Amino acid sequence: MYLTIDKTVVAIDAVTCRERWVTNWEPKSTPLSPANRGVAIKDGHLVRGTSDGYLIALSMADGKLMWSRQIASPKAAST
Protein backbone atom coordinates (compact mmCIF):
# COMPACT_ATOMS: atom_id res chain seq x y z
CA MET A 1 0.00 0.00 0.00
CA TYR A 2 1.31 3.49 -0.85
CA LEU A 3 0.39 6.73 0.88
CA THR A 4 1.18 10.29 -0.14
CA ILE A 5 1.40 13.08 2.39
CA ASP A 6 2.54 16.45 1.01
CA LYS A 7 6.19 15.83 -0.07
CA THR A 8 6.32 12.26 1.28
CA VAL A 9 5.50 8.83 -0.12
CA VAL A 10 5.25 5.93 2.34
CA ALA A 11 5.14 2.24 1.42
CA ILE A 12 3.26 0.05 3.90
CA ASP A 13 3.20 -3.74 3.88
CA ALA A 14 -0.56 -4.37 3.69
CA VAL A 15 -0.24 -7.77 5.44
CA THR A 16 1.78 -6.69 8.47
CA CYS A 17 0.95 -2.93 8.43
CA ARG A 18 4.66 -2.21 8.83
CA GLU A 19 6.46 0.55 7.03
CA ARG A 20 8.58 -0.70 4.10
CA TRP A 21 10.16 2.62 3.09
CA VAL A 22 9.68 6.38 3.12
CA THR A 23 10.90 8.92 0.58
CA ASN A 24 10.66 12.71 0.56
CA TRP A 25 10.64 15.03 -2.46
CA GLU A 26 12.56 18.25 -1.90
CA PRO A 27 10.74 20.98 -3.87
CA LYS A 28 12.86 22.71 -6.49
CA SER A 29 10.69 25.84 -6.57
CA THR A 30 7.70 27.53 -4.97
CA PRO A 31 4.75 25.15 -4.61
CA LEU A 32 2.05 25.65 -7.24
CA SER A 33 -0.63 23.64 -5.50
CA PRO A 34 -0.75 21.66 -2.25
CA ALA A 35 -3.08 19.06 -3.82
CA ASN A 36 -2.51 15.44 -2.83
CA ARG A 37 -3.71 12.98 -5.48
CA GLY A 38 -1.88 9.77 -4.53
CA VAL A 39 0.20 7.66 -6.90
CA ALA A 40 -0.23 5.74 -10.11
CA ILE A 41 1.40 2.31 -10.49
CA LYS A 42 3.02 1.18 -13.74
CA ASP A 43 5.77 -1.34 -14.56
CA GLY A 44 7.28 -1.40 -11.07
CA HIS A 45 7.17 2.38 -10.67
CA LEU A 46 5.06 4.74 -8.62
CA VAL A 47 4.30 7.95 -10.49
CA ARG A 48 3.01 11.09 -8.80
CA GLY A 49 2.80 14.82 -9.25
CA THR A 50 4.49 17.17 -6.81
CA SER A 51 3.32 20.52 -5.49
CA ASP A 52 6.13 22.34 -7.33
CA GLY A 53 5.11 21.13 -10.80
CA TYR A 54 7.13 17.94 -11.27
CA LEU A 55 6.07 14.46 -12.25
CA ILE A 56 8.27 11.88 -10.52
CA ALA A 57 8.69 8.11 -10.70
CA LEU A 58 9.83 6.06 -7.72
CA SER A 59 10.85 2.42 -7.55
CA MET A 60 8.09 0.38 -5.91
CA ALA A 61 10.74 -1.84 -4.33
CA ASP A 62 12.71 0.76 -2.39
CA GLY A 63 11.34 4.25 -3.10
CA LYS A 64 14.40 5.46 -4.99
CA LEU A 65 13.83 8.25 -7.49
CA MET A 66 13.91 6.81 -11.03
CA TRP A 67 13.21 10.04 -12.91
CA SER A 68 11.67 13.49 -12.58
CA ARG A 69 10.29 15.87 -15.21
CA GLN A 70 9.07 19.42 -14.74
CA ILE A 71 5.54 19.61 -16.17
CA ALA A 72 4.44 23.00 -14.80
CA SER A 73 6.21 26.26 -14.02
CA PRO A 74 5.54 28.68 -11.15
CA LYS A 75 6.43 31.58 -13.48
CA ALA A 76 3.94 30.44 -16.16
CA ALA A 77 1.23 29.83 -13.56
CA SER A 78 1.52 33.35 -12.15
CA THR A 79 1.09 35.18 -15.48
pLDDT the model gives residue 79:
45
Provide, rounded to the nearest whole percent, the portion of the chain with pLDDT above 70: 95
Nearest to 60 by CA among 35, 36, 42, 33: 42
What stretch of H or E contains 75?
helix 74-77
- Convert the pLDDT of each residue in 43-68 to its tens digit: 999 999 998 999 999 999 999 999 99
